[in-house]
Chain A
Amino acid sequence: DTGVSQDPRHKITKRGQNVTFRCDPISEHNRLYWYRQTLGQGPEFLTYFQNEAQLEKSRLLSDRFSAERPKGSFSTLEIQRTEQGDSAMYLCASSPTQGGQPQHFGDGTRLSIL
């Protein structure tokens, strides 16, 4: 169990640029989740996958956001035309399919928009 890995750990970019984050889940986990965490708040759900299928998307996930998990393994989260309000920590988590199994989190990607 190597844990959930996220890359990069930090990303600084100018407003209007596109950014892409990668998440590698624990290898035997079918489910993969993306959350966003702003200062002083708990993580807020963005979207989740079971294998390669995207099963649920939050209303927080505007049309500038897109997530993929093409082969049911790693996932990418892309933000197009970044805005100041996108500055946050983006957390990835994974879990087995069985109900009640806890989600295991990566260390996150901290995005700063200049």
Chain B
Amino acid sequence: GAVVSQHPSRVICKSGTSVKIECRSLDFQATTMFWYRQFPKQSLMLMATSNEGSKATYEQGVEKDKFLINHASLTLSTLTVTSAHPEDSSFYICSAQRGAGRLQEQYFGPGTRLTVT
């Protein structure tokens, strides 16, 4: 199956700093990439949808100025958590869509564990 990677797998940062998380589709070009957030013992919540070369679409309640998404190429999307605070500590998961419409063609990355101290 297709492979999606995330880097880093885990990161610890101090409050007030910014953290960048990369999501790469390794063996296919992704028309769309998605960013999810998962708090402990909760389900995945969609944060934003990202299309290459255009601005991301954010879900209600997600601050676009705090969670900056750059989808510069068909294989790379980045999520930058700006001025991180302890409440931003979470598991961030990206997914990449190959083709259009079919959920089985949406491949998930392994996730990035962010801890803000």
Q: Do A and B come from one complex?
A: no
Q: Which residues of A contact B (CB under 8 A)?
A: none
Chain B residues at the A interface, C-beta cutoff of 8 Å: none
